[in-house]
Structure 1
């Protein structure tokens, strides 16, 4: 346990929280920004003396319960919560599972991207939200039940996946996706959704089982992909992945450079694509 670093961390996080953020009156006699020590102690359900000793690097090693109360009182992100546990010499508990709630700001972003297909995935590749252009690019997405809005399930359990090699676009997607899912399994070792998906793919896909046995761990990065649309045809697009760290989610964006055939194809989809052009296609046939 590093008492001094723990004390510095608590002071810095206390100073950034406004009283009104936690339902307290700001008042007019505050000489420094942030909460008072006694306010943090009250929010965390501990004695003022105990909290003061923590900030003065004189306190005993906090228990998991105390650390959890401090994390809630100081409104720590998941990464900050883990850091707090490490400073206290207490390994953080595994997270309960990938968050499913998409932040309101991200939903507003999707709505504003009226010329760019975009959707949000959680750590196990479940598609949680999408905009009209994504529904146009991936026909049938809106009608799929939630369980089937998972590109890993539709990709690896399709008959075509057994004929893929490690080379080429699809093979690259397979390898990086498996490595990414293994990283998610490490973050959520007790989540039934993650372990259930892994077991389902191990049983149903020889390709997945072979790649899983290689034990690679990685985080998905941006790439170039060819989306084969049933009406517009093949479209070569940049697939960029933006992280939402507080939710362990990704915003996937499909874009094309102006003046390219792909750019013109997206313009066409913007005009007619919101009419869900076909009924048979499913999200994930292109690997996303």
Structure 2
């Protein structure tokens, strides 16, 4: 995979130097000698090593992922940090995630410690029926990088700690005491802050839905669509859908991004 110009600039190397090195490689293997493909990543590593030898850097102070800084004296915002972690968790490669979000390489390297393992990634980004194949992975990443994805991230970032914890428990269907899922009044700040283009689909187990909760959840009209389901237990099933019209594909994409956003943001807030 070729190196993008944005990534080259991030590591303070000259993009023109890449083109010259590629040209020298073609000239060196011209004629009777078989052409050897130019390894841009090997060239990049060699350039970084040469620069470190000539200009060794002093160790930098470790900082929290949400307040990362780099040599250009620009603070990396929480929003940028979260967006980087989301696209990495959804399957975007490191260098493409750096180019996509524009965060410094040094900040990205520190954030890599927060990127979940492959099993957790697969669980978070799974589709409703089965794991997302490559086309689905790419589509999830595109949604995360879109305006809709930005709205989802900003929405979740704005939730207070208790609301965020409840929302995460419900959406990720995590194991918790049964009483945790009966805090239905917390749906109100979640729905009131939700962008107008979205709607929440909530399935509740019939045996675990009280009359008071049923009336409360039914009062939100198009913001929340409640379905009573005898096949599920105390943990609800939550999906994020477009409000304008039913679209199962978009619902799966929005839900995947929401799941990852809740996981990433919750973990970052725990480290603060």
TM-score (norm 1): 0.24
Between Structure 1 and Structure 2, the one with more helix by share is 2
Between Structure 1 and Structure 2, the one with more strand by share is 1
TM-score (norm 2): 0.25
